[in-house]
Structure 1
Amino acid sequence: MPSATKASRRYTYADYLKWPGDERWELIDGQAYNMIPSPSTVHQKIVGRFYARLERLLSGTPCEPFVAPTDVVLSEYDVVQPDVLVVCEQARVTEANIQGPPEVIVEVLSTHSALRDKREKKALYERFGVKEYLIVDPLGGYVERYYLGEDGTYGKPEIFGPQDTLPLKAIQGIEVPLREIFETVKPVGKR
Structure 2
Amino acid sequence: MPDKPCEVFYSPFDVRLPLAQEKDEEIETVVQPDLAIICDRSKLDKRGCKGAPDLIIEIISPATAKKDMQDKFLLYERSGVKEYWLVFPLDCVIDIYALNEDNKYERTGLYHYPDKIKVGIFADLYINLGLVFLKD
* Shared fold per TM-score greater than 0.5: yes
Indicate if the aligned counterparts of 1:162 and 1:184 stay in contact, CA closer than 8 A: no
Deviations 1:17-53 (A, max 9, x none): xxxxxxxxxxxxxxxxxxxxxxxxxxxxxxxxxxxxx
Indicate if the aligned counterparts of 1:163 and 1:179 stay in contact, CA closer than 8 A: yes
How far is the alpha carbon of 1:67 from its aligned partner? Answer: 0.5
Cα distance between partner residues in 2 of 1:123 and 1:157: 16
SS in 1 for 2:107: coil
Aligned-residue CA RMSD (Å): 1.5
Aligned mate of 2:104, from 140, 147, 153: 153
Equivalent residue, structure 1, for 2:10: 67
Identical-pair percentage: 33
How far is the alpha carbon of 1:161 from its aligned partner? Answer: 0.7
Structure 1 gap ranges (5+)? 1-59, 186-191
Which stretches of structure 1, 4 residues or more, deviate above 3 A after TM superposition?
A: none
Of structures 1 and 2, the one with the larger relative CO (CA 8 A, separation 6+) is 2
How far is the alpha carbon of 1:61 from its aligned partner? Answer: 5.9
Equivalent residue, structure 2, for 1:98: 49
Cα distance between partner residues in 2 of 1:184 and 1:105: 25
Cα distance between partner residues in 1 of 2:71 and 2:61: 15
Equivalent residue, structure 2, for 1:133: 84
Bigger Rg, which one: 1
Give 1 or 2: higher helix fraction: 1
Cα distance between partner residues in 1 of 2:126 and 2:45: 27
Does residue 89 of structure 1 match 2:32? no
Structure 2 gap ranges (5+)? 19-26
Q: Residues 172 and 146 from structure 1, CA distance in 2 versus in 1: closer, same or farther, beyond 3 angstroms?
A: same
What TM-score, normalized to structure 2?
Answer: 0.87
What TM-score, normalized to structure 1?
Answer: 0.63
How far is the alpha carbon of 1:139 from its aligned partner? Answer: 1.1
Indicate if the aligned counterparts of 1:92 and 1:98 stay in contact, CA closer than 8 A: yes
How far is the alpha carbon of 1:155 from its aligned partner? Answer: 2.3
Pairwise mapping of residues 22-41 of structure 1 onto structure 2 (< 5 A)?
none
SS in 2 for 1:110: coil
Aligned residues: 126
- For 1:173, the aligned partner's letter is D
Indicate if the aligned counterparts of 1:107 and 1:136 stay in contact, CA closer than 8 A: yes
Deviations 1:106-129 (A, max 9, x none): 000011111100000000000000
Cα distance between partner residues in 2 of 1:130 and 1:143: 17
Aligned mate of 1:108, from 53, 59, 64: 59
